[in-house]
A = this chain, B = another copy of it.
């Protein structure tokens, strides 16, 4: 018997980087997995516990956000029109000196609310006070891979503390929550700290989520100070002995890319193009990474740089940006963009076998998208519309782990009014930039 039946949807399929759309199909969900996909009418719907009518809507995998700091939505719009050094030193690391644990619980919720509305069902989040973020994820019904951030200046005791967090939450919420260790970056963590983090990750069976080579300037600074690129530093410190999510790697050298292509452990890059453009950080060559076999997934980064948590935008900017960067509009095709958003992001997220594709046996993280708006008409190509036309507001229904968490744009789990009532009184404190010292200084 079906626990949930999605009735009469168009179903997006991606095989070997070709996109196709099954018309009028039903999706049967048992427990938290997809059981069957078949033409409408072939399945007896009368015994399904719940039926979602989806005629004319497009079913596709929920988006996977490979790199975010969702609670930073609290400071959305407050670090504008500045370069990276000022963004860190004059804004972010001053703001974060005001951060209290409970802020993360509410900030994570507003970020999750926005992501659910945009069809994001899983997020790899790298931030502070992550017990509070985990409680928010439990409540929201989404999937998350959580890592508690650390700078080596905070002392090595953090490694045990964040490992304890990781053990506390890994597999919780019916397996929706997984955990990871999260040293911040090679420019904020010394070699010894990185080595200890890698050993700890290996000991507890966790991966590592780390910022690296965010710009070419960081790579040049690392070469001067340490005689190695940031990616070479990670390799030398044993980080790549465990599965690793590399946030950004915009400043990766050709040699770095060879290193990444040769790794035995699954390692992937989280590509966050809106942040790169907004902070004038340069641009990764995703086309080249993919040609080398390096997995590239999509990320939003935080909403103080982005300023939204919207992977439709990230997917579109990836396609547009790579065509522009390489000077060849045949690069980064529609099907490739959808593959990056789907299977490749699932691989970077560490659940490549279970997420990122709609087929029997996969976890049931499914979104339903309305393509009837004027901005899609006439609908000559569903797959082109997904990459170039959809607005996050076209997402109607979001299912994660077999449960409906938003239906016809009504939230089933989170309460926007409650969240904002709790955020509003915090903002006067959170906006202050007069605390001494700030939590860190950017000087790579």
A154 within 8 A of B: no
Asked if residues B374 and A113 are in contact (CB atoms below 8 Å), the reply is: yes
From B87, B375, B380, give the contact of A392 (CB < 8 A): B375
Q: How far is the CB of A348 from chain B (nearest CB, A)?
A: 23
Q: How far is the CB of A396 from chain B (nearest CB, A)?
A: 12
Chain B residues, CB < 8 A from A333: 80-81
**Which of A75, A326, A384 neighbours the largest number of chain B CB atoms within 10 Å of its CB?**
A384
Asked if residues A308 and B389 are in contact (CB atoms below 8 Å), the reply is: yes
Asked if residues B308 and A82 are in contact (CB atoms below 8 Å), the reply is: no
In the bound complex, CA of A46 to CA of B393 (Å): 37
Q: How far is the CB of A234 from chain B (nearest CB, A)?
A: 26
Q: Which of A136-144, A261-269, A275-283 contacts B (4 or more CB under 8 A)?
A: A275-283
Asked if residues B280 and A326 are in contact (CB atoms below 8 Å), the reply is: yes
Q: Mark A372-414, 1 if CB is under 8 A from B, else 0.
A: 0111111111001100110111100000000000000000000
Given contacts A117-B374, A375-B118, A375-B392, contact A323 B277 (CB under 8 A): yes
Asked if residues B277 and A330 are in contact (CB atoms below 8 Å), the reply is: no
Complex interface residues of chain A between 2 and 23 (CB less than 8 A to chain B): none
Residues of A within 8 A of B (CB-CB), count: 67
Chain B residues, CB < 8 A from A380: 75-78, 427, 431
Closest to A274 in B: B320
A327 within 8 A of B: yes
Q: Mark A318-339, 1 if CB is under 8 A from B, else 0.
A: 0111011011111101100000
Given contacts A73-B377, A78-B380, A424-B378, contact A320 B391 (CB under 8 A): no
In the bound complex, CA of A339 to CA of B340 (Å): 35
From B114, B278, B321, B431, give the contact of A329 (CB < 8 A): B278
Asked if residues A278 and B427 are in contact (CB atoms below 8 Å), the reply is: no
Asked if residues B377 and A320 are in contact (CB atoms below 8 Å), the reply is: no
Q: Mark A42-82, 1 if CB is under 8 A from B, else 0.
A: 00000000000000000000000000000001111110111
**Which of A76, A321, A424 neighbours the largest number of chain B CB atoms within 10 Å of its CB?**
A76
Chain B residues, CB < 8 A from A384: 76-77, 80, 307
A84 within 8 A of B: yes
Q: Mark A98-135, 1 if CB is under 8 A from B, else 0.
A: 00000000000010011001100000000000000000
Chain B residues, CB < 8 A from A376: 76
In the bound complex, CA of A307 to CA of B376 (Å): 9
From B74, B77, B78, B375, give the contact of A117 (CB < 8 A): B375
In the bound complex, CA of A360 to CA of B366 (Å): 50
A83 within 8 A of B: yes
A423 within 8 A of B: yes
Complex interface residues of chain A between 279 and 313 (CB less than 8 A to chain B): 279-280, 282-283, 306-310
In the bound complex, CA of A276 to CA of B376 (Å): 20
Closest to A78 in B: B380
In the bound complex, CA of A331 to CA of B389 (Å): 27
In the bound complex, CA of A76 to CA of B371 (Å): 13
Closest to A319 in B: B278
Asked if residues B76 and A377 are in contact (CB atoms below 8 Å), the reply is: yes
Complex interface residues of chain A between 332 and 384 (CB less than 8 A to chain B): 333-334, 373-381, 384
In the bound complex, CA of A224 to CA of B385 (Å): 39
Asked if residues A77 and B280 are in contact (CB atoms below 8 Å), the reply is: no
In the bound complex, CA of A279 to CA of B331 (Å): 10
From B309, B320, B378, B393, give the contact of A76 (CB < 8 A): B378
A87-B329, A309-B375, A310-B375 provided; 19 other pairs, C-beta below 8 A? A73-B377, A74-B378, A76-B378, A77-B384, A83-B330, A110-B374, A114-B374, A117-B373, A276-B324, A277-B320, A279-B329, A280-B323, A280-B328, A306-B388, A307-B385, A307-B389, A308-B388, A378-B420, A393-B394
- Which 5 A-B pairs give the minimum distances between C-beta atoms? A77-B381, A77-B384, A277-B320, A393-B393, A280-B329
Q: Please name 23 pairs of A and B residues whose Cβ atoms are closer than 8 Å in the assembled complex, sorted by A.
A: A74-B378, A76-B385, A77-B379, A77-B381, A80-B333, A80-B334, A80-B384, A81-B329, A117-B374, A276-B324, A278-B323, A279-B329, A280-B324, A280-B327, A283-B324, A307-B384, A310-B375, A378-B420, A380-B431, A391-B391, A391-B392, A391-B393, A393-B394
